[in-house]
Amino acid sequence: MKSIISRSYNKNETLGTWMIMEGEKPLFSCKTIELPDNGNQKYFSCITEGMYWMTKIQRKNGDNAFLLSNVPGRSEILVHKGNYAAGKKIDTEGCILPGAYFVDLNDDGNLDVAESGKTFDRLWNILPEKSILHIL
């Protein structure tokens, strides 16, 4: 199984498309949103491109998440539910937020991801306990 996020960068956020493939067959696709590229600064930047081990975990608050391992200069990077990476409200401190599509949910002029909870649950059911995520 291949898990790949292809990203584009803008001033306020990093937008991505996440493809999960079984060989050449696409299994699932969704969108991702992250903080903008601010030189891999903790709490203020998306993570660097690369290949990361991704492990299913349960957070202290009881929510499920995927933990990314060996992110250079960073720790506790997760994939978790959330909608906002810029503007009035922000749901991430450097983590990846999946969603079904991009839309400005709160009318602040920034794109957000919609249906994050539903999209995350689909990812949780598709991906194994441990896998590799390739971020381009």
pLDDT (tens digit, 9 = 90+) per residue, 39-94?
A: 999 999 999 999 999 999 999 999 999 999 999 999 999 999 999 999 989 999 99
pLDDT score, position 83: 98
How large a percentage of the chain has pLDDT more than 90? 96
- Which residue ranges make up each domain of the chain? 2-135
Q: pTM of the entire structure?
A: 0.96
E strand or H helix that includes residue 53: strand 50-58
E strand or H helix that includes residue 126: helix 116-126
Tens of pLDDT, residue by residue over 9-31, are 999 999 999 999 998 999 999 99
pLDDT score, position 43: 93
DSSP string, 54-117: EEEEE-TTS-EEEEEE--TT---EEE-----SSSS----SS-BEEESEEE-TTSSSS-EEE-HH
Confidence of residue 109 (pLDDT cuts 50, 70, 90): very high
